[in-house]
Amino acid sequence: MARQPLIAGNWKMNLNHLEAIALVQKVAFALPEKYFDKVEVAVLPPFTDLRGVQTLVEGDKLLLRYGAQDVSDQDSGAYTGDVSAPMLAKLGCSYVVVGHSERREHHAETDELINRKARAVLKNDMAPILCVGEQLEVREAGNHVEHCTTQLLNGLKGLKADQVRRTVVAYEPVWAIGTGKVATAEDAQEVCGALRTALADKYGTEVSEEVRVLYGGSVKSSNITELIGQSDIDGGLVGGASLNGDEFAKMSAMA
């Protein structure tokens, strides 16, 4: 079964709600509708921008999807500052990133917590974008495949096959995020291929062939074609370059 490519723009902690609307309009109007048959395009703004993005997307019947960059593992209650999966579902989110390396690093998120977040997302009929990736020293020691596979299987622990099918995996080598140092297409394929094999071993080939595996780390219009040309790379999780509407639309049209 052919997997539909997904280009997802992780805005990180950038853009207020007015700037968010301007960027979504720019991306949507730069991409003729015909592209959306071929590729799924999503933006992942900060929580504070989501309501504005929802109003614009629904009001103008845009074909863009949107989602959040993080979520609580709890449904509701005394968790000051957190945002729950039911709240994000109510805002029309399709995707929620879990396990981004910046959350693993700055918020000490563990595989166990990330797994609970992935479950919360799936329980609320959204798709997690589960990020895995190695630090430079792990790669230099030759342990990158094992490291990423372990993060993947821990993140998916206890999920049923039909939940795994709906999950998007993003391989993001930490040393390539925001550094301008993109992994070579071969290096990215090595890990993405190994992740799919791990999925096949655990959940069967039918499931593993449905799961979309993205690459993230300094993706731009100049390298997207080569990356997405690899047999196990189904799109990109794009950080910095997704803040430029023309560039993000251009790479989405190339996917």
Minimum separation from the CB atom of position 55 to ligand PEP (A): 25
Q: Interface residues with ligand PEP (CB under 6 A)?
A: 10, 12, 172, 177-178, 216-219, 237-241
**Would you say 10 or 149 has its CB closer to ligand PEP?**
10
240 is known to lie in a ligand binding site = yes
**Min CB(180)–ligand PEP separation in Å:** 8
Q: Is 239 annotated as a binding residue?
A: yes
CB contact at 8 A, 234 and 191: no
CB nearer to ligand PEP: pick between 7 and 57: 7
How far is 44 from 123, CA to CA, in rounded Å? 20
Q: Using CB positions, name the residue nearest to ligand PEP.
A: 239
Q: Does residue 102 have an active-site annotation?
A: no
Q: Answer yes or no: is 11 a known binding residue.
A: yes
The answer on whether 10 is annotated among ligand-binding residues is: yes
Residues 109, 134, 172, 247: which is the catalytic one? 172
CB nearer ligand PEP, residue 20 or residue 207 = 20
CA dihedral 190, 191, 192, 194 (to 10 degrees): 90
Phi, psi of 160 (to 5 degrees): -85, 160
Q: Which residues pair with 132 in a beta bridge?
A: 171
Task: Point out the catalytic residue in the list 100, 102, 134, 144.
Answer: 100
Helix (H, G, I), strand (E, B) or coil at 200: helix
Contacts 24+ apart (CB under 8 A), 219-222: 219/182, 219/251, 220/182, 220/247, 220/251, 221/247, 221/250, 221/251, 221/254
**Cβ atoms 71, 83 nearer than 8 A:** yes
Residue 206 among the catalytic residues: no
Tokens of residue 77, six digits = 């209650």
d(CA 191, CA 133): 9
Considering the complex, state which of residue 177 and residue 255 has its C-beta at the smaller distance from ligand PEP. 177
96 touches 126 (CB < 8 A): yes
Closest separation in Å from C-beta 1 to ligand PEP: 26
Contact call for residues 170 and 130 (beta carbons, < 8 A) = yes
User: How does strand 65-68 pair with strand 40-44?
Assistant: parallel
Least distance (Å) from ligand PEP to the CB of residue 161?
Answer: 27
- Closer residue to ligand PEP (CB): 164 or 241: 241
* In the complex, least distance from residue 4 CB atom to ligand PEP, rounded to whole angstroms: 20
Q: Which residues are annotated as a binding site for substrate?
A: 10-12, 178, 218, 239-240
Q: Which residues are annotated as a binding site?
A: 10-12, 178, 218, 239-240
Q: Which residues are catalytic?
A: 100, 172
